[in-house]
Chain A
Amino acid sequence: MSPDDLRCELERLHAATFGWALSCCRWDRAAAEDVLQASYLKLLDGRARYDGRSSLRTFVFGVVARTARETRRRAALRRWVPLASLLLGPGLADGRPDPAAAVARADATARLVEALRRLPGRQRQILHLVFYEDLTIAEAATVAGVAIGTARTHYERGKAALRKLLEGARE
């Protein structure tokens, strides 16, 4: 795939990829933008190369998920080792929720976001990939890097936990 083609495809997938980055960053907009930039950088400079084994969307989502994990690890390292920032460069977003975005969010979606934040990471990822991104459970398993059976378990448990949290928020 030529760089121009890749750029066009990334532009086509941009909204979905941003949504996925938001989910990977627990709906922290600033962190999601940082992760998305770093992911695009990997894709555009060839560090992450698409080999056609899965759909491009699955591949791009996988890159975003890995980048989010790396970012979280670096942030954790920075918290524990202050000198690490000299080696790792400037830090990314600090993980605080974006207040402006929080105010603008409608009540129902705010409840959903809050409930998603409280879900375990894997459950949140699988539910997001299936419901938000319209992926199959098999595709979601590929993106999350887990076996399909594990993804199905996360899906079922995640749905139950999310419903419980949403009902709790309504009361």
Chain B
Amino acid sequence: MIDQDDRDLRGAFEALRREAAAHTPPFDTTGGAARRRLVPGARRRTLVLAAAAVLAGVALVLVLTPHRPGVQLGLASVRWESPTDFLLRLPGDELLRLVPRLDVTPSTINWSIP
């Protein structure tokens, strides 16, 4: 692939290769260092797995624990009256809420504003 014109570059790279080869660290040194680097990686992986297991355990406990209802407030039984509610009452509005009876005449109704 190298042209004849590239002999100068080939020579320069050849010299560089010889020099680099002379200073190449032994394979066992590099391989040994690589294996030593594996240890922190494995430790980190173990920590991540342990953290994931703890989180999964907590999630499982939360899911499996039966739901305990808190204090329930029966809103239907609560009635609050505003101090100005009387302003909304109309004279004779009982007639609208009560079933008409024969013995009750308009004269018995209290027409005064409460």
Q: Please report A residues at the B interface, Cβ cutoff 8 Å.
A: 7, 10-11, 14-15, 18-19, 22, 29, 33, 36-38, 40-41, 44-45, 89, 101, 104-106, 108-109, 112-113, 127-128, 130-132, 136-137, 159, 162-163, 166
Chain B neighbourhood of A113, CB < 8 A? 16
Chain B neighbourhood of A132, CB < 8 A? 13, 16-17
- Given the known interface contacts A36-B30, A41-B37, A44-B34, the answer about A19 and B9 at a Cβ–Cβ threshold of 8 Å is no
Main secondary structure of the interface of A (DSSP, over half): helix
Main secondary structure of the interface of B (DSSP, over half): helix
Is B15 a contact partner of A131 (Cβ separation < 8 A)? no
Q: Please report B residues at the A interface, Cβ cutoff 8 Å.
A: 1-2, 6, 8-10, 12-13, 15-17, 19-21, 23-25, 27, 30-31, 33-35, 37-38, 40-41, 44
Chain A neighbourhood of B40, CB < 8 A? 89
6 nearest A-B pairs in the assembled complex, by CB-CB distance: A131-B13, A40-B34, A14-B27, A41-B34, A37-B34, A11-B27
Closest chain B residue to A139, Cβ basis: B1
Q: What is the bound-complex CA distance between A14 and B2, given in angstroms?
A: 24
Q: Shortest distance in angstroms between B35's beta carbon and chain A's nearest beta carbon?
A: 7
